[in-house]
A and B are shown apart, each in its own frame.
Chain A
Amino acid sequence: MSEMICENCGSTDAVVHLTQIVNNQMSTHHLCEKCAAEKGLDSGPAVGDMPLVDVIAQIAEDPAVDTHWGSGQCSFCGLTHDDFRRTGRLGCPHCYESFSAELPRLLRRIHGGAKHVGKVYLPPDPSASELEKRLDGLRRRLERAVQSEDFERAAEIRDQIRALEPA
């Protein structure tokens, strides 16, 4: 297969291949190293290629960040920050509260965001506000299913909404 040519300067071999999704449209750009650097695209290793414990260590060692990694403990399961740094695993649901000051930074590093926007969980005996949040989530999914003309899915979600809405 032929070598890729940089679409910016047209002369050098393109080594950076950037795929973007904007408004559901995927586009791919091929750039040489120089043009990519000028556009501020870093082709260094992505977080995805790094073991999680290294990402945690890197954040913990960042002098610019005043976090308290290394101290503190989960009151429910006893997990310490050291345990977390060593294993990359949290100990129990309460750990997310115990370490809530530091976690968002790590989560943003891993996921690019720290706020859940997916399915809204409805516990077995939901409160009125939990029910409303769940209904909001379902209405958003319904809208999306209709937009993408997935009418079978839309009908299913509509049934779920009807089952939850107060009569």
Chain B
Amino acid sequence: MNDFEAIPDHGLGWLEASGEHADIVLSTRVRVARNLQGHAFGPRARVNDREAVLREFRAAIERSPGLRDGVLLELPSVGERMRRILHERRLVTRDLLGHDDGEPASGTAVHFSTRDPVSVMVNEEDHLRAQSLVSGLRIQEAWQVVDRLDDELGRELPFAYHHDFGFLTSCPTNVGTGLRASVFMHLPGLVLTKEIGKALRGLGELGLTFRGLYGEGSEVVGQFFQVSNQITLGRTEDDLVDGLERAVRTVIQKELEARHWLTREARGITEDKIWRAYGLLRYARSLSFDELMALLSSVRLGKSLKLLPGLRVYSLNKIMVFTQPAHLEQAAGRDLSPEELDEHRASYVRRVLATEGDVSATDDPSAGDPSSEKP
């Protein structure tokens, strides 16, 4: 089956803003890296290694009752734009797309389970990377889904495993549990109060690390951070998952304190920044993705502070995904130049804000008027 439409929720379940603290934590991802015995790892794998890995994986899911009904997309037979859409929905990594606009390597594939929110990338840097990507703060739940899938695959496939080093991976930074749990957070309060440096250093001391939206090497834009465990060896999976959860809850608490401080000590400036951002998003005719993310960050803060109650977090999440180049081109039905992308992006945002988040009723003209303040 090679049907994009058959992917459960179109791979967009993580946008639904349903989990705990969904305004601060956009999504949780847990993945494990696994390799098969007898084949070179991804970067050194030859065509016959990659094809054998995919063959063994396909046979395993066909034997496994819980996975048989899933959707397997072989990337070389997925169209170029649809491949980029998969990446923009965070379902495959850039590595899997092929480098420098080349075609994806033979044997690269992604499998989506129809039972649980879990997918498997085949022939990435490691032979298999199983990941669960869910909305909000749900680290334990995502880990349990991945754990179960890992057990099922492990019953069918000979994983490369060493009694001392655990599950063997291409990169020594993943060896052992092969587990990377990451939480995608929006931390404008900590950024605006300049407390973010301290928070990030604190995470470093706990063996955690942070990255931008698309993982390793990607930039931090719009005050969005991915916080994840750095260590994968010498701790149990439960310890890693619990440690991340505790740290993330501490960061959430600090973010809430920073937001409280902003509304108490800098209400005027904060509200002005939020409304200006809303105005630009609502009426701009051209928006770069970076500008959009910066404005969206302010508006998201406004929503959290209950200044923009007409808006839904879901709409804001959706804007982040559907304003990326491949999504805009798919909607337009053609390739777009950089200038056209900025125009289509602004147009999409105006449409969503006009239809899904009318805030005019909440914009009391006397609110924030200095002359109306009581002495």
Contacts and interface: CB of A to CB of B under 8 A. Distances in A.
A148 to B, nearest CB: 8
Nearest to A137: B236
A140 B154 CA distance: 20
A144 B236 CA distance: 11
Contacts of B171: 52, 88-90
- In the complex, which range does the number of interface residues on chain B fall in? 35 or more
A111 to B, nearest CB: 4
Nearest to A88: B171
A21 interface: yes
B261 A1 contact: yes
A142 B29 CA distance: 24
A26 interface: yes
Contacts of B166: 116, 118-119
Contact of B161 (A91, A114, A121, A156): A121
Contacts of A110: 172-173, 231, 233
A68 interface: no
Interface in A89-148: 89-93, 96-97, 103-104, 106-107, 110-119, 121-124, 140-141, 144
Contacts of A48: 204, 207, 209, 230
B193 A116 contact: no
- In the complex, which range does the number of interface residues on chain A fall in? 35 or more
A19 interface: yes
Contacts of B314: none
Contact of A106 (B169, B172, B207): B172
Given A26-B246, A121-B159, A89 B232 contact: no
Contacts of A88: 171-172
Contact of A77 (B40, B154, B194): B40
Interface string B195-211: 10010011011110100
Interface in B33-51: 35, 37-41, 43-44
A117 B35 contact: no
A96 B165 contact: yes
A66 interface: no
A153 interface: yes
Nearest to B170: A89
A93 B176 contact: no
A116 B233 contact: yes
Contacts of B167: 116, 119, 121
B160 interface: yes
B164 A115 contact: yes
A79 B205 CA distance: 34
A124 B159 CA distance: 9
A91 B232 CA distance: 19
Interface in A1-27: 1, 17-19, 21, 26
B99 interface: no
A89 B41 contact: yes
A110 B44 CA distance: 23
Contacts of A156: 144
A113 B159 contact: no
A46 interface: yes
Contacts of A28: 202
Contacts of B41: 89-93
A144 B241 CA distance: 13
B177 interface: yes
Nearest to A156: B144
Contact of B233 (A1, A107, A121, A141): A107
A143 to B, nearest CB: 11
Interface of A: 1, 17-19, 21, 26, 28, 46, 48-49, 52, 77, 79, 87-93, 96-97, 103-104, 106-107, 110-119, 121-124, 140-141, 144, 153, 156, 160
Given A88-B171, A90-B170, A106-B172, 14 more contacts: A1-B195, A17-B202, A17-B205, A46-B204, A91-B44, A93-B35, A107-B233, A111-B232, A112-B231, A116-B164, A116-B165, A116-B175, A116-B177, A123-B154
24 contacts: A26-B250, A46-B204, A87-B43, A90-B41, A90-B168, A90-B172, A91-B41, A92-B41, A96-B168, A96-B175, A103-B165, A103-B172, A107-B165, A107-B172, A114-B164, A116-B162, A116-B164, A116-B176, A116-B177, A118-B176, A118-B179, A119-B147, A119-B177, A124-B156
